[in-house]
Amino acid sequence: MPAAVSDARAAVAAVVDPEIRVVTIEDLGILRDVEVEPGTGRVVVTITPTYTGCPAMDVIRADIRRAVTAAGHPDVEVRTVHSPAWSTDWISDAGRAKLAAAGIAPPAPVRRDGVVPLTLTVRCPRCGSPETEQLSRFGSTACKALWRCRACSEPFDTVKAL
């Protein structure tokens, strides 16, 4: 990977999600690609929102432009693609660990053989108990739901599986 692409990608990969501040857009799988156009040096960043209409996308685009410019690349284009649609399977293992450490239950990944397991409950990210209940399909952001642990009584968010 050429140094310009590597530098630009590192800058973009470090952009923090504005709604879930413990993970980066790379951790969440929002970051799809970073290219540097030959000749012009324009950095083209491709992203996919977690869902159509995500209110954080304008902030994410601005943060990407700011990060790439600060890395020495003043010509930046951010492209948003919706196909293929984002999936919680795109959350990295590091991203899942960061979510859990912050008290946000990450969704279980879909098995790679194409079989989608039925999730009956969400484990509490604080105590690990499966004795949880959904309080609201709507959490602190549109991509999260609000749950409560029956074992430790703590409420917690979970990223909605898509």
pLDDT tens, residue by residue, 115-161: 666 777 899 999 999 999 999 998 888 889 999 999 999 999 999 87
Instruction: Return the number of other C-beta atoms located less than 10 Å from residue 128's C-beta.
Output: 11
User: Where would I find the H helices in the chain?
Assistant: 3-13, 25-28, 57-70, 93-101
Per-residue confidence (pLDDT) for residue 140, from 0 to 100: 85
Q: Which fold has domain 3-80?
A: GMP Synthetase; Chain A, domain 3 (3.30.300)
Per-residue confidence (pLDDT) for residue 78, from 0 to 100: 98
The model's pTM is 0.85
What backbone torsions phi and psi does residue 45 show, to the nearest 5 degrees?
-110, 130
The pLDDT-based confidence of 97 (bands split at 50, 70, 90) is very high
β-bridge mates for residue 80, sequence order? 47
Where do the structural domains in the chain lie, given as residue ranges? 3-80, 103-159
Whether the predicted pLDDT of 112 surpasses 90? no
The rounded distance, in Å, linking the Cα atoms of 136 and 60 is 26
Contact of 129 with 149, CB cutoff 8 Å:
yes
What tens digit of pLDDT does each residue of 3-30 get? 777 899 999 999 999 999 999 999 999 9
The pLDDT-based confidence of 111 (bands split at 50, 70, 90) is low
Per-residue confidence (pLDDT) for residue 51, from 0 to 100: 85
The rounded distance, in Å, linking the Cα atoms of 82 and 22 is 24
Per-residue confidence (pLDDT) for residue 72, from 0 to 100: 94
